[in-house]
Every structure is written in C-alpha cells, then in structure tokens.
Amino acid sequence: MRDHLIEKVLYSKEEIASMVQRLGQAVSRDYQGKSLVLVSLMKGSVVFTADLMRCITVPCRLECMTVSSYHGAQSSGTVTVLQDISSSLEHTDVLVVEDMVDTGLTLQSICGHLRQKGAANVRSCVLFDKPARRIVPVKADYVGAEVPDAFLVGYGLDYHEYYRNLPYVGILSSAVIDRDCRQNSSQSKE
C-alpha cells in the first residue's frame, strides 16, 4: 500500500471515529426498547459495522450479507445477493449498515429484499453519501458525511479489493484507475 497513490485524504482516522460515534448515539437513541438487527453489507462495511456496533448502547444482533454490484471502479447496474442472512427477521427492526450509498441501487434492492423477509421496519445507516452518482431516489436514514464524486478508498472501501486497511479515507489517484483501464483495454484486444 503506497500512500502516494492517494490524491487527497478526505477524512482522518480521528474524524471517522467522531462520525461513527455520532451515528452510534443517534441509533441508540432511536432504537431504545426495540429488537434491533444490524445487517452489514460485506465486504466494504465490515470496518464501519464493527466500530458502529461498539458505539451502539442498545442490545442488537448482527447479520451479514454479501452482495455484488461493482466491477472495479464501475457499477454493474445490477445487485446480486451472493450470501443472504442466516436467521429470521420476523418482527424485528433492521438497520442496513453500508459503507457508502452512491447510485442507490444496492441500498434500494437490499432494503426491499429485507422487507420481503418480514422485518417490521427497515432503515439504513451509511458512513458516506455520494448524491452526485444517484440513479434511484433513495435516502439513507443515518449518514456520516456527504462526499464528492471521486473514487474513495480506505476504512473498508476498496479498489479491486485493495486499500481497505487504510485507517483514513482518501481519493484514489486517477492515475491508478487510468492505468488499470489501459491494461484491461490492451488485454481485451489480445
């Protein structure tokens, strides 16, 4: 991992911790006395979910789903559930935990999927909102921060599965994405 591949750090480790603490307090306040189930969307939200859970003071269960909607830096336009939750959601309050909402396709699809599984209520908590890329009119219930239309990595966010372990969130250098696009283009011509 080379930091020179990051054009700009948007949020430091400390700024992210403050955001997560604020979100955890809001969730704790709103879910007093309710049967809360956090549904973490893997892999991107694993770091955020772990930190958020430690900031939530009300009892909660954790479920994980693995979904796919991106190929490299591009949204595929379709959401595929690769691994579904393993327990019943009947009569529960579900909070979908996602690292970022951009096109809105994943969040809309997963919330609908979980409602069909019998959840009493489905809401969402995202660390980052990128409204410039929105395709469907979806709005997260809890948002850490609004971010610009750039390719972000770190704190669980990845590019081809790398950079998730950065303790901050930064903008990936366009040179990295351009280089990969050129390599993919030349390989497809061979």
Backbone region of residue 33 per phi and psi (left: phi > 0; alpha: psi in -120 to 50; beta: other values): left
Contact between residue 93 and residue 31 where contact means Cβ atoms under 8 Å apart = yes
Distance CA 78, CA 121 (A): 24
Confirm whether 102 is a catalytic residue. Answer: yes
Candidate list 102, 129, 141, 180, residue with the active-site label:
102
How is residue 99 written in tokens?
């690292």
Phi, psi (5° rounding) for residue 88? -70, 145
Residue with tokens 């396709």: 105
Buried b (16+ CB within 10 A) or exposed e, 27-53: beeebeeebbbbbbbebbbbbbbebbb
Question: Active-site residue numbers?
Answer: 102
